[in-house]
Amino acid sequence: MTAATPDAPFVKVSCEISRPIEETFAYVVKVANRENRLTVEKNKSCSYTTAASAQKHLVDRIDGYWHFTDNGNGTTGIELTYTLMPKDEHARTAIESQLLPHYRGRLESAMNIIKEDLET
C-alpha cells in the first residue's frame, strides 16, 4: 500500500510532535489498533483499511497511511493520508466535492488530539 492510490481522491494532513519518534509511533499504533491493519514498519509507517459505513453508497473503503519522520531534535513529523476508494466514477465527483473537506476536518482534529495527548 502506498500513501495514495493514483486517481483516487485523498486528503493529507501533517504536524510535528514534540516527542521522540519511538513514543509517537507506539502511541499512534495503539490508538489506531481498532482498524484493519495492513502493514507496520516500526518507527516509519503503518497502513490500514476501514469500511466507510456512513458513506457506503459512495465509498468502497478508506485506506489510511501514517508516515513518521525523526526530525533529529527529539521531535517527530507525522503525515496521515486517507484515500477514499470510490464505488464508481459518479461517486468520485461527490467524494471530491463533499467528503474530502469533511475528512480533512476529521483528520486535522485527530492530529490535534494526538499532539495534545503526547505533549501534555
Q: What is the pLDDT of residue 77?
A: 97
Residue 1 has pLDDT above 50, yes or no: no
Helix (H, G, I), strand (E, B) or coil at 21: helix
Mean of pLDDT values over 33-58: 83
1 versus 30: which is more confidently predicted?
Answer: 30
Q: Per the confidence metrics, is the pTM higher than 0.75? A: yes
Confidence of residue 2 (pLDDT cuts 50, 70, 90): very low
Could you report the per-residue pLDDT of 66-111, keeping only the tens digit for each? 999 999 999 999 999 999 999 988 899 989 998 899 889 999 999 9
Q: What is the pLDDT of residue 118?
A: 94
Hey, how many other C-beta atoms are within 10 angstroms of the C-beta on 85? 19
Say which amino acid occupies 87: K
- What is the set of domains in the chain, with CATH numbers? 11-119 (3.30.530.20)
Q: What is the pLDDT of residue 6?
A: 54
Strand ranges of the sheet holding 36-41, from the earlier edge strand across to the other edge:
10-17, 76-86, 59-70, 45-50, 36-41
